[in-house]
Amino acid sequence: MENKRLKAKDFGEEFAWGVSASALQTEGAHNVNGKGPSIWDEFADKNQIKGKQNHYVAANFYHQFREDIALIKEMGIPNFRFSLSWPRILPDGIGRINQDGIDFYHQVIDHCLANGIEPWITLYHWDLPLLLEKKGGWTNREILTWFEEYVEVCIKAFGGKVRHWMVLNEPLVFTGAGYFAGLHAPGKKGIGNFLKAAHHAALCQAIGFRTIKKLQPSAIVGTTFSCTQVTPVDYSPSHVRAAKRMDALLNRFFIEPSLGLGYPINDLPTLKKMNKYILPGDKENLKADFDFIGVQVYTREVVSNSFFTPYLRAKLIPAKKRKVHHTRMEWEVYPNSIYEMIKHFSSYEGVKSVIITENGASFYDEPINGRVHDLERVHYLKSHLDNVHKALEENHKIKGYFVWSLTDNFEWAEGYEQRFGLIYIDYLTQERIIKDSGFWYRDFLK
């Protein structure tokens, strides 16, 4: 097939290529040089992570960032997306600034720029300062003020060096898993917690946008959304309606209010319960004229109607049960999903451009004679890029693609079992090995 020979140049000179990572998943050094505790510190201390693991060392990026940035350069990757740790910069969440934290990120940014790598920074990638969670965290409306202060500190510190900013990482996931299902930090449960947290996060994504633009008008500002193609198990009306409800939750919940369209209440009636948290002026304040939307796609979901599933009346049918090819995370390998999601987000009139800010897969990686032959990941990346190129050829608004992730890292509640990296980490020695997928990406980008 012709598409198997695609190279980066086939996407045009302006297309942004990169690799992504996050602070809590890679940095380690969880309590050194003035860093305050995060909600994940407490979550790990309560043995909520698979295998009673924790992120306290992780991939040791805090001490080995120069080595990792050298590997990005070696792979010829021009853009590096990473996040700032809120409690490393503001240990108490607000007020006192930790200069050691500011200095660390200056070193990372400077080292990127010195090596010809453009930093793309995510302001919030799930590591809320623990002291703010003690006050209610994302369920407390005061977070609008706390978050604005944090953004101001970051832009004043780094805005002179950094052009590309992302406000939030996957708000549906950190509010849903953290405040409804209790599967992620802070481990809260309940529809009330979730809807409050979600509304405040939606307001914060707009507050973050306005704050950055006020302090750095030339900044290129986006935010990122998790998303996935949703397919009914069959086309009987009840399953089709269930898929529509699931799609409203997974793919429309956070983008539509930012475009002034409000929450997708008509297709997900449970969201009417949000009205008690929506104050006068909120609908206008949810709007943000983002320069780009970051889209994070890994799989698709197949959905059936389910009378016994509260609120959604829909349930996901796992890939394993459907006996389809899946990753170690048990997510279906379904490359068409990335094409459908580019199409979906491009279809909104108010969306200027779409960038895939995460796409990747976890497989069973193991070094053999100093090499990691992760051919499944190579095939995964190739097939997804075929679909990105298809969307580009159809003139959808796709402008960039970032692989998740740079290195193997701490995969939240899954601990260290799941490996997504282009670079293998031996967690005992902290040795780095570029996988075959990393070499493939290097050759693709040349």
pLDDT tens-place string over residues 96-128: 999 999 999 999 999 999 999 999 999 999 999
- CB-side neighbour CA atoms (13 Å) of 171: 29
Residues 410, 16: Cα–Cα separation, whole Å: 26
**Segment 65-100, tens digit of pLDDT:** 999 999 999 999 999 999 999 999 999 999 999 999
Q: What percent of the chain has pLDDT over 70?
A: 99
Cα(69)–Cα(115) distance, rounded to whole angstroms? 8
Q: Copy the structure tokens of residue 98.
A: 């930790």
Question: For the chain, what's the residue count?
Answer: 446
340, 358, 376, 411: the active-site residue: 358
Q: Which two tokens stand for residue 276?
A: 């008690």
For 311, left (φ over 0), alpha (ψ -120 to 50), or beta? left
In the three-class reduction of DSSP (H, G, I as helix; E, B as strand; rest coil), residue 405 is classed as: coil
Per-residue model confidence (pLDDT) at position 264: 98
Question: At 5, is the pLDDT very low, low, confident or very high (cuts 50, 70, 90)?
Answer: confident
Note the pLDDT of residue 128: 98
Note if the bond before 186 is cis, omega within 30 degrees: yes
Please give the Cα distance from 362 to 377 (Å, whole number). Answer: 8
pLDDT at 1 over 80: no
d(CA 80, CA 161): 14
Q: How far is CA 196 from CA 105, 238, 243, 369, in A?
A: 32, 29, 24, 51
Q: Is 152 a catalytic residue?
A: no
Question: Taken in order 46, 48, 51, 57, is the CA torsion positive or negative?
Answer: negative
Active-site residue (options: 170, 256, 332, 376): 170
**Partners of residue 169 on adjacent β-strands:** 224
Q: Which residue has the tokens 């002026």?
A: 281
What pLDDT shows up at residue 4? 59
Instruction: Extract the runs of DSSP E, i.e. beta strands, from 248-329.
Output: 292-305, 314-316
H helix and E strand count, the chain: 16, 11
- Residue 72 and residue 377: Cα distance in Å, rounded? 18
Active site includes 340?
Answer: no
Residue 323 has pLDDT above 50, yes or no: yes
Is the pTM of the predicted complex or chain greater than 0.85? yes
Q: CB of 159 within 8 A of CB of 199?
A: no
Q: Which fold has domain 2-445?
A: TIM Barrel (3.20.20)
According to DSSP, the β-strands at 220-232 and 431-434 are unpaired
The stretch 281-300 carries a mean pLDDT of 98
Question: What rounded mean pLDDT belongs to the chain?
Answer: 97
Which residues lie below 8 Å from residue 276, measured CB to CB, with a gap of 6+?
A: none
**Predicted confidence (pLDDT) per residue in 152-204, tens digit:** 999 999 999 999 999 999 999 999 999 999 999 999 999 999 999 999 999 99
Going from the C-alpha of 203 to that of each of 141, 172, 192, 365, the distances in angstroms are 10, 13, 17, 40
